[in-house]
Structure 1
Amino acid sequence: MEIDPAIQNARQRLLAELQPAGRWEGELSPSALATAVASFALKSAGRTELAERGLQWLREHRNADGGWGDSPESPSNFTTTLLCRCALDLETGDPEKLAAEILRFYGEDRTFSVPILTMCMLSGKLGSDWSVVPQLPFELAVFPHKVYRFLNLPVVSYALPALIAIGLVRHRHKPSPLAFHRNGLVGKVLGILRGIQPESGGFLEAAPLTGFVAMSLIGAGQGDHPVVQNAIGFLEETVRGDGSWPIDVNLSTWVTSLAVRALEGDLSEERQTAIRNHLVQTQWREEHPFTHAEPGGWGWTNHQGGVPDADDTAAALIALHQLGCETGVAEQGILWLLNLQNRDGGMPTFCRGWGKLPFDRSCPDLTAHMIRAFSLWRDAMDENLWAAMFDSILVGIEYLEKEQRPDGSWVPLWFGSQSHPEHENPVYGTCRVLEALAGLDEGEFPKAATMKARAFQWLETVRLDDLGLEELALVAGLTGKGVDELLEKTAQGTQFPASPIGLYFASLWYSEKLYPLIFALEALKRCKERDG
């Protein structure tokens, strides 16, 4: 099959998605989990008409087996099915077994288990004894943020709103006689919560977290509090026309950065200027209110409620290198990443040193992304900064060497595969690491050659039939294998079916309509360059 027409088709399709403001917005799949949580929160707040629209969407999108997966393309899973049944007031089974299963499913990480248990309690599915809900220590929110990592918080770094709101509702219904000090801190922590709420009212710009916060405060007798009113306003503003909610408003910064890479050489000066200006404007210029991340990073969305993170910061730096920008902007992003890197050499997502829970641990895909960004910007940085970047790459490579599996693959943190027995996505992780290693001088970084050889050997064993379009595109772009299959799956660059890919370890699967388009275009262009 001819590759040129497919490239042209995909290029035109992606350019048509570019907004005048200089960004791509994309579209996340509707989420049954987000819709269940948002609908229940709205119903708790008395917004019954809008809540019923969400509940009707859930009824219409139930899987054949009677359960729900998070995206409409996902098989049913325990968490989403449970929350949908709570929202719809359906039978959920024996309360004792249910509570035990929720805690077992998520283990030591309370980021998801406690909000889920709380919604089960508020919906009447676990009886009336709040002892089944672990008490989140909301009083820790009054401590200086610099000591959070030493306090062994039971939730991930960005979940301070949940810690406060869900801790308060548990305390209201089942106060510990040994924790009377909490009573005097209620007003203070509510003030902290109000201070970190984004202007939109949406925590993380996400319906699930915002809904959990709203229902918990309502359940704690704080329904008239401004945090609740603003959160409910956010849910009302972000509902889609069909009555559903996605897990987040958008991934605009992320898909914009990825689209720039795929369109290298295809953007006019005018478009490059608009995109560059947009990315520069979305760089965080102040400390983040609840992760307390320093200025200099980028979050996943153009909205205020996003959180600066390693993956989006590296992606923005790579895009800005291609677009051309002032070195000062890049220096801030580079310094932000340098300060984030963990002692083990790996990159966490949001906060350095919070290594115990999944969202906060070091991971190969983010580490590789940092390496790729640093290697591109080396010539533009002064000698001292490059020396620090060089050392960062060295320890990053040592981390990747330790994390490479015996078969030669790497497993990413944020992207999964529903067809994999463990829901892991070693194809995505391995390809992202290989992209970073390919940009390194093997004379400077000799370990890269051995790691690459083992990884390419593993990719040769991958069955193309088992891959979604996104993974197939990554493999084709790196190896040239599977180009005909890619052309066939995209109908010569005219169809780009998205697969659920994200947040696999939290059972928050989603698809993003621009992923397959971006990945396929970049892969086809690489294949053409490889073939001359």
Structure 2
Amino acid sequence: METQHALNKARERLLAGLLPDGRWEGELSSSALATAVASFALKLAGKAELAERGCQWLESHRNEDGGWGDSPESPSNFTATLLCRCALDMETGDPQKLADEILHFYGEDRTFSVPILTMCMLSGKLGGDWSAIPQLPFELAVFPHKFYRFLNLPVVSYALPALIAIGLVRHQNKPSRWAFYRNGLVNRVLEILRRIQPESGGFLEAAPLSGFVAMSLIGGGFGDHPVTQACLRFLENTVRDDGSWPIDVNLSTWVTSLSVRALEGDLSDEQQNAIRDHLLKTQWTVEHPFTHAEPGGWGWTNEQGGVPDADDTAAALIALRQLGCETKVAENGLMWLMELQNRDGGMPTFCQGWGKLPFDRSCPDLTAHAIRACMAWRGKMDFNFWAAMEDSIQRGLQYLEKQQRPDGSWLPLWFGNQSNPKNENPVYGTVRVLEALVELDESEFPRAGNLKRRGFQWLESAQNPDGSWGSSVEETALAVGLTGKGVDKLLEMTGDGTRFLASPIGLYFASLWYSEKLYPLIFTVKALKRCATRQELGDE
């Protein structure tokens, strides 16, 4: 009865968050890094009042050690602290040493190091020698997108706006030997930037990327360009009442899909219809202007700046199977997923074949999620389509077999644990893989059996002495829902379904920590529901 009582309270709270248009919005933690970047871009644009509000928020959210972390609950780190000091015009040390530290810290991936160096330069922290900043080859943006994977770009697939804007500011301030060639392509790449900019003005609906683009274009002499002005409008429109910015506007599609699964059987027909209609509206039915992804996928947000990705597509497909929709919609989504699958059998986030840099490689949790999407729709597909899905699943299992660690666990890509010495979150990764494996018939997929047994052995051994897992409600709820163990601890941690403290377990681009207000609530509802069902069956 105690479990059921807590479930009723938590479920009521989650249902109360459903908006009239059929979605949950959630709330991402405010970000010191996003606030620093946005404030500095607005300062360069002459929007002093808004920039000052952001700086005041930074001043009031400084950690005791004098630095800043990605979220208010995060320990101080090098990148957030550096950019906050730039925004606040504080001392940052010797310019050459600073540049060397940044480049060494991020290695070959220029996705984040060059934007950081650019902000340091524009804020006067690197002297005036632009040669300290590597020249990003913005001219490569004129090539057809299908060739990008072969061009050995120094940034990941989603960073094309940064490649263009930051490449331009470096070129404008320190022309290279290729200056004549690059000069002839400036207008073309600016037009490309304009075409891929969403209606909101926010690239990826993210303050950091949009702020970096805006400050770079301003620093390159393009402050009046429509792309710059649109970025600035986005920053003005997305600032919070306290003067801060989150790393993205929301993860609405993601938390909506997860909420549907947690509330299975608890949604009225009217609610189900509204949610289904909303999810159908957010499926991409045309080629995406940014990544040129084929139609069929879903992004993380209901806003147009979101980019179709494997995790959100799988989540939406599973939710729609529960809500009911036309098989053709699912076929389009499943085909999108299968065509994204890498040669190694794993599922990347955005683009097939971009395996060299972080966030573009295959990963276990996304692979498992795609397997679950296939299994959810199995009974609705004809023989030929199922044969393709079955082949995809088998390849995914081969990948998961190779990625299972010696101790039996798996690591996720987009989630971590700040308390772990390596910031890894094997609890999240292992639970997500096991959720897929338990849905597979071992006689049909024999490889799943051994993977599953080893995974459960690790998960049970990883339970803390007090009954929790990891260091958060989120991790504990996920593990409790799968194993049925530790429910008393989960009830204690959530105040019997009344208190849900969100922890920064999420990782955004370039490993930025964030918390999502709905994660602990969604995961707890799902866990308590499973436990309540087990208890009922046991009573019978």
Q: Structure 1 length as normaliser, TM-score?
A: 0.99
Separation in 1, partners of 2:264, 2:175:
58
Aligned to 2:345: 345
**Alpha-carbon offset, residue 466 of structure 1:** 4.0
Tell me which residue corresponds to 1:406. Answer: 406
Task: Provide Cα deviations, 1:477-504, integer angstroms capped at 9, x if missing partner.
Answer: 1111211110000000000000001117
Distance 1:504 1:482, change over 3 A: farther
Superposition deviation, residue 180 in structure 1: 2.5
Of 520, 527, 530, which aligns to 2:524?
Answer: 520
Structure 2 counterpart of 1:473: 477
Q: CA deviation at 1:93?
A: 1.2
**Which residue of structure 1 aligns with residue 505 of structure 2?**
501
CA contact (8 A) 2:276 2:323 kept: yes
**Which deviations, in whole Å up to 9, do the C-alpha atoms of 1:193-221 show, x marking residues without a partner?**
01111000000000000000000000000
**1:273 maps to what in 2?**
273
Q: CA deviation at 1:506?
A: 2.5
Tell me: CA distance 1:141–1:184, structure 2 relative to 1, closer, same or farther (3 Å).
Answer: same
Match of 1:112 in 2: 112
Aligned partners of 1:325, 1:16: CA distance in 2, in Å?
24
Q: Report what 1:251 is aligned to.
A: 251
1-structure distance, mates of 2:30, 2:523? 21
Determine the structure 1 residue equivalent to 2:171: 171
* Aligned partner of residue 79 in structure 2, secondary structure: helix
Partner of 1:2: 2
| 2:86 and 2:120 in contact (8 A); partners too | yes
Shift of 1:465: 6.1
Question: Matched residue of 2:359: which SS?
Answer: helix
Partner of 1:295: 295
Q: By how many angstroms is 1:527 displaced?
A: 1.3
Contact 1:169/1:217 (<8 A) preserved: yes
Give distance in 2, aligned partners of 1:131 and 1:400. Answer: 44
Q: What does the per-residue CA deviation read over 1:341-382, in whole Å, with 9 as the maximum and x for residues that have no partner?
A: 000000000000011111100000000000001011011011
Check conservation: 1:416, 1:504, Cα contact below 8 A: no
Deviation at 1:175, TM superposition (A): 1.1
1:18 aligned to 2:22? no
What is the identity, as a one-letter code, of the residue corresponding to 1:481?
A: K
Could you give the per-residue CA deviations for residues 90-116 of structure 1, whole angstroms, max 9, x where no partner exists?
011111121111111111111111101
Contact residue 261 and residue 319 of structure 2 kept, 8 A: yes
* Paired amino acid for 2:493: K
3-state secondary structure, aligned to 1:28: coil
Identity of aligned residues (%): 78
Question: Aligned partners of 2:180, 2:92: CA distance in 1, in Å?
Answer: 34
* 1:173 positional shift: 1.1
Over aligned residue pairs, what C-alpha RMSD do you find?
Answer: 0.9
Q: Which amino acid aligns with 1:233?
A: R
1:39-438 matched pairs, under 5 angstroms: 39-438=39-438
> Residue 454 of structure 2: SS of its match in structure 1?
helix
User: For 1:374-433, what per-residue CA distance to the aligned partner results, in whole angstroms no more than 9, with x for missing partners?
Assistant: 011011011111110000000000000000000000000000110111001110000000
Q: Which runs of 4+ in 1 moved over 3 A?
A: none
Whether the aligned pair in 1 keeps the contact of 2:291 and 2:307 (CA below 8 Å) is yes
Distance in 2, matches of 1:466 and 1:339, equals: 35
Quote the Cα distance in structure 2 between the aligned partners of 1:433 and 1:439: 10
Following TM superposition, by how much is the alpha carbon of 1:179 offset from its aligned partner in structure 2, in angstroms? 4.3
Q: What code does the residue aligned with 1:64 have?
A: E
Kindly provide the amino acid, as one letter, of the partner of residue 485 in structure 2: K
Cα distance in structure 1, aligned partners of 2:183 and 2:469: 58
- Aligned residue type for 1:516: P
Counterpart code for 2:429 = G
Q: Deviations over 1:69-126 (max 9, x none)?
A: 0110000011000000000000111111211111111111111111011000100111
SS at match of 1:360: coil
Paired with 1:298 and 1:12, the residues of 2 have a C-alpha distance of 28
Q: State how many pairs are aligned.
A: 532
Alpha-carbon distance between aligned partners in 2 of 1:428 and 1:181, rounded to the nearest angstrom: 49
Change (3 A) 1:183 1:282: same
Q: Which runs of 5+ in 2 are unaligned?
A: none
CA contact (8 A) 2:359 2:509 kept: no
The Cα of 1:467 is off from its aligned counterpart by 2.4
Contact 2:68/2:81 (8 A) holds in 1 = yes
TM-score, reference length from structure 2: 0.97
1:58 partner amino acid: L
SS in structure 1 at match of 2:374: helix
